[in-house]
Every structure is written in C-alpha cells, then in structure tokens.
Chains A and B, each alone.
Chain A
C-alpha cells in the first residue's frame, strides 16, 4: 500500500477533497454548493418519494403551515413560541429539524406539547430559504441571512427568549441539529440544566473525526490511482452513503470557515459544564455513535448517560415513552 505522503502534486491537505469522483475545493464556495446540489440529486435518486422536499428547497420557501392556535411566529420560519410566552416558570427549548414527512413546518413531540400548561416552549429552526441553495448548515451558521452566525443567534436568544427568570429549562435536540443544540445548551449552561439528545450526528468537526480524515485520505488516493491506472477500486471508497458524503462536505466547509470546535463538536466540551445534565438516546448504529463510544473509551469526554433504544419503532418509543417520563421528572417535581 502506497503511503499517502508519496502522492506528489496533489493536495492531501484539508483545503479540498474528492467526493463521488469530483474534487471539491472548500475555499471555493461555488464549488461547495454545486457539490451539495449534486449530492442532493444523489439523495433524490436514492429516495424519490421525498420529491416534495427537493421541490421546496428549489423554490426557496415552504408551503407548510403551523398551528396558529398554539404558536406565535417570532421570526419568520425560524423562531416560534407558545402563546403568552414568558408567563410560565419552566421553559422547553426544542431545536427542530425540518420535518419533511409531515404537513407541519416543524415537529414538536406531543409529550412536549402536553407541558404547555406549566411551561413555555421555544422552537428554533433554520429558515428554509437559508437552506435553499447553500449547503445545509444545521444552525451552525445561524438561523437566516440576518442572524447568520451562531454568536448572533445566541445573542438573540439571550436578549429576548432565554431569561434567568425560569426555574427549569430543558433543551431537546437530535438528528442533524444535535451539535448546534448542545452548543446552545452549553452557551447557556448556567440556565439550562437538562439536555436531552436523541439519535443524530455527534460532531461536525473535521479535526475531531478520524473517520472523516481516513475517508478523505482514501478518496484522494483513489483519485490519484484512477489518474495513474484508469481503474477505480470501489472497495477503497470509504464514503459509503450520500449522508456520509454530505457530512464530509459540511465538516470541510465548517473547517474552512474556521467555526469554533465548541460549536461543531460540543460533546467534547461537556466536561466544562459539570452542572449540566446531558443524556443521550440512540437507536442507529452509525459512525457517529462509534465516534462517541471511542471518545468515551479513550476518556476524551466524560461518560455521559447513554440509552440504546432497541424497540420496533425506536423514534416513536423515545418520543412517546422515554421523553414524557424524563420531562415529567424534570418539570413536574
């Protein structure tokens, strides 16, 4: 096997990588976004049923609605609060993923909504328009074109929404917005005591993930060998799924933008917030959970409570069983 450093005249630095046979330079925004469009196409081919998702992205707006009897829209397509926000002594912050499978604009579990009587609820999501052409930032680069950085988002929350008057604040995040959710919780660690995380991406940091670096090196080498021999060895390609390719693209993009590791990889900094209770529920065996296990094993992060849900429908079990019990314990004591 040829050592990677023997490859001359080709970059093996982190300024570019090869995804699906195309070299993409992270310093060329246009190239990054064309690549993300291309990966979207691949995703569409993998799952043609989600056509409406892609149509919405191309259009740049969503026709989806939200229940105006429950929610007040504070910032269009980004921030939603329950009616009479500020009256309760508890606050539940839901970091919402785009909810493509339902008619609503965002998804808030029924077990959270059932606490409306004694809690305010704040929903934070990234504006769809922000995600149209650019790569999905998953809140790492803010909410929308106005609040376009994590810092601006936190400033907005501190000034208007997350106040010291609350006696209990719980934050719920999962999926692709898990890192951003945890980073927000850590930013407000003096106020947010409980963080409930569910199955998702554990970090967006290029430098913290050996898997990403291995994928990167192998793909560079594959490209080199292809140019040299005209043959492409598929077994050497470690980027198996489009999701993985997207993850690499995002990590490279955030690295090039020099996003702080406290935002892209907040799990690494749990130890800096000892008073905050973080729990993690997962059900898929992915590279993300593998990274987390390794990090705990090597003691680079503290041993956080992790629950592997092994049920027929784990998401439903989490939202309908685990989450209500946890919320009841925290909020109804």
Chain B
C-alpha cells in the first residue's frame, strides 16, 4: 500500500522504504524542535538532542547512547539483562504492586534520557507499593522499530508481546492484594492488553488518554487520515483544488502511529492485543479508570472510537483540564491531583 504522508508517498509494504521514511520524518521532527526552541529550557533540550544525533552520525549507530540510557538509578535495580525491567529496592516486601509502563522517551528523548525515568509521585508510593517498571529499549534494531508500543515486546530478547508478558509473570512471585497497571499516551491500549494477559494477578488499570487502538481498521488516527486523503483526492479530481491542511499539520507521533500500525497489520498481530478495550467485558475482575481531556483535539478520534467501542467495567473521567501549551500533556495534572486520591480512595480502601 502506498500512502501520502506530508510531501512523500511511502510504500508501506517495503520495510526499507519505511525505514527511510522514518528517518525523513525524524528530520522534520528535528526541524520542529529546532524552530520551537526559543526559551532556555527548549535550547537546552535541543542541545542534548543535537549532541546525541551528532554522536550517532559521527560514530554510526546508537551504541554511544547506551551510557545515557542505561544509567543506574537510586530507586530501581535492574532485573533483566536487556535493562528493560526495573524493580524498586526491597521488592516483595509490600502488599500491593504497581506495574508502571514508561512513555517518557519520545523521538527526541530516546537517545539521552535514562530508561528508568519515573515521576516522583509514583516513587513516593514506595512505602505502600512494590514498583515494577517496564520500558521499551530505545536501541532496538532497526531504529524504525522503536517505539513498537510494546506490541512487539520490549527488546530484542523479549521481542513479542507474549514473551514479555510471560517474563513479567515470572517476576511476580507472591500474592498481592492489589496490582495496578499504570499506562498513558502511546501505551494506553497496550497497558490494558498487558493487564488482560496477567488477569490472574492484575486488579486495576489506570490509563491516561492516548492511543486506544493500534489496529489499522480501528485506530482513530488512521481512519481519520485515510478518510481525509480519499476526500482530498476526490476534491482534486473534481475541482483541481488541493486541500493540504492535514498533510501539513499531521504530527510526528501520528505519522509513526500510521507506519507502526501498518506493520502490525502485516504481522497479523491479534486484535485482542491491538484493541483490548473491545474485549474488556471478558475480564470482569479488572477495573479500568480512564482519564482524558476533552480539550485534547489531536487525540479526539481515539476517544470518540473508544466511547463507542469499549466494553466491560471502564470508568471514563473527563478531567476538563486546560493546558495551553499541549492539551495532550495531562500527566503532571493527573500525578498531582488525581493519582493520590485514586490510590487512597479506590485502591487502598478496597484493599483494606
């Protein structure tokens, strides 16, 4: 299948072309960051990103980034050799468990942020919870593989969803009262898939709004984009007018979502993994709390699809939060205002 994305027509069936396209769109992202770096913190971020990229291009490959990515952490200790799993120190001493799925490393941060990054407010729950973190390794090969949203596992060792989930099961050796999976943004759907795969231990899932399906036929972003492209072509045939608004405005994450989901389609990944919300009715012992911001227009197709297709015990919460800079970035608000209450009132009350 050939699809126009920005100014390029990409043959999605050709892995190599997708790789080139990924690099090309990385370039766009780099220019976007470069042009928007107006304040000191933006310039600092740009400098870090630039240095990482320069190292990459000077030395060839991403190996030099390993020292930043695999930096030891005071809070966690490594469990696996691939450095994708970390557990809090004194793991196993608490009655409840948090499984935290990291989404912090976007395209610009994947080469210079430690893999074990976690918000302090989650770390502060350490007195009541064991904490287990799962990260996708940014140095997977080929580069265009990252991020696979954990659908293709988290590393070259645990390279399928099933292998990854089996490995998580082996890490949890005791009976917890409550096991909560935290996930957000690009991992919104996969967090629930992981919970489903571990349904004998997981009791709750906390999701901050993001990509609710990675299925080519169901993903809000893909369907809205294909609809736009079809309409654009029809208008052009009839009137000669080219409506390029969405072509120009499409965001980096949106593009990478399209490229990845087509790959999942080619690989015949099970729909239960890609669109878990449709199957949640089969998991009655897992409660899902889903938080979204109705002002987040970019991710609106996902919530629209979700409200129509979700099944089972899911509570939807519109937080009505107005972040002028980035409406999608609700995580800090959730950590500040929602998570403490959620932990105390929903999780720990139930547990007691």
A interface list, Cβ under 8 A from B: 21, 29-31, 33-35, 37-38, 40-41, 44-45, 51, 54-55, 58-60, 129-134, 145
> Total interface residues on B, using CB and 8 Å?
23
Please indicate which of the listed interface residues A30, A38, A54, A130 has the most CB atoms of chain B within 10 Å of its own CB. Answer: A30
Using A30-B30, A30-B53, A34-B30 as known contacts, say yes or no to A41 and B60 having CB atoms under 8 A apart.
no
B326 on the A face (CB < 8 A) = no
Residue from the list B16, B17, B24, B57 in contact with A29, Cβ < 8 A: B57
B27 on the A face (CB < 8 A) = yes
Q: Which residues of B contact A132 (CB under 8 A)?
A: 60-61
User: Are A134 and B24 touching (Cβ within 8 A)?
Assistant: no
Using A34-B30, A54-B16, A58-B19 as known contacts, say yes or no to A130 and B60 having CB atoms under 8 A apart.
yes
User: Are A133 and B30 touching (Cβ within 8 A)?
Assistant: no
B305 on the A face (CB < 8 A) = no
Shortest distance in angstroms between A262's beta carbon and chain B's nearest beta carbon? 24
User: Are A51 and B16 touching (Cβ within 8 A)?
Assistant: yes
Q: A55 to B18, alpha carbons, bound, how many Å?
A: 12
Q: A40 to B61, alpha carbons, bound, how many Å?
A: 17
Q: A33 to B26, alpha carbons, bound, how many Å?
A: 12
29 contacts between A and B (CB under 8 A): A29-B54, A29-B58, A30-B30, A30-B50, A30-B53, A30-B54, A30-B57, A31-B27, A33-B57, A34-B23, A34-B26, A38-B24, A41-B20, A41-B21, A41-B24, A44-B17, A44-B20, A54-B16, A58-B19, A58-B143, A59-B142, A129-B60, A129-B61, A132-B61, A133-B56, A133-B57, A133-B61, A145-B58, A145-B59
Shortest distance in angstroms between A6's beta carbon and chain B's nearest beta carbon? 27
Q: Which residues of A contact B23 (CB under 8 A)?
A: 34, 37-38, 41
> Is chain B's interface secondary structure helix, strand, loop, or mixed overall?
helix
Closest 7 CB pairs of A and B: A41-B20, A34-B27, A132-B60, A33-B57, A30-B53, A37-B23, A133-B57
Q: Which residues of A contact B143 (CB under 8 A)?
A: 58
Q: A40 to B19, alpha carbons, bound, how many Å?
A: 11
Q: Which residues of B contact A60 (CB under 8 A)?
A: 60-61
Q: Which residues of B contact A35 (CB under 8 A)?
A: 27
Shortest distance in angstroms between B322's beta carbon and chain A's nearest beta carbon? 35
Shortest distance in angstroms between B66's beta carbon and chain A's nearest beta carbon? 15
Q: A131 to B57, alpha carbons, bound, how many Å?
A: 9
Q: Which residues of A contact B50 (CB under 8 A)?
A: 30
- Residues 8-42 of chain B, each 1 if its beta carbon lies under 8 Å from chain A, else 0: 00000000110111011011001000000000000
Q: Which residues of B contact A21 (CB under 8 A)?
A: 7
Shortest distance in angstroms between A50's beta carbon and chain B's nearest beta carbon? 10
Q: A41 to B17, alpha carbons, bound, how many Å?
A: 7
Q: Which residues of A contact B19 (CB under 8 A)?
A: 58
Shortest distance in angstroms between B29's beta carbon and chain A's nearest beta carbon? 10
User: Are B60 and A134 touching (Cβ within 8 A)?
Assistant: yes
User: Are B60 and A58 touching (Cβ within 8 A)?
Assistant: no
Q: A130 to B24, alpha carbons, bound, how many Å?
A: 20
Q: A82 to B91, alpha carbons, bound, how many Å?
A: 60
Q: Which residues of A contact B16 (CB under 8 A)?
A: 44, 51, 54-55, 58
User: Are A37 and B54 touching (Cβ within 8 A)?
Assistant: no
Q: Which residues of A contact B141 (CB under 8 A)?
A: 59
Q: Which residues of A contact B20 (CB under 8 A)?
A: 37-38, 40-41, 44, 54
Q: A38 to B20, alpha carbons, bound, how many Å?
A: 7
Measured CB to CB, the nearest residue on chain A to B27 is A34
Q: A208 to B35, alpha carbons, bound, how many Å?
A: 34
Q: A130 to B54, alpha carbons, bound, how many Å?
A: 13
Q: A254 to B20, alpha carbons, bound, how many Å?
A: 24
Please indicate which of the listed interface residues B17, B58, B60, B61 has the most CB atoms of chain A within 10 Å of its own CB. Answer: B60
Q: A21 to B27, alpha carbons, bound, how many Å?
A: 14
Measured CB to CB, the nearest residue on chain A to B15 is A55
Measured CB to CB, the nearest residue on chain A to B20 is A41
Q: A131 to B58, alpha carbons, bound, how many Å?
A: 9
Shortest distance in angstroms between B34's beta carbon and chain A's nearest beta carbon? 8
Measured CB to CB, the nearest residue on chain B to A21 is B7
Q: A210 to B142, alpha carbons, bound, how many Å?
A: 40
Q: Which residues of A contact B61 (CB under 8 A)?
A: 60, 129, 132-133
Measured CB to CB, the nearest residue on chain A to B50 is A30
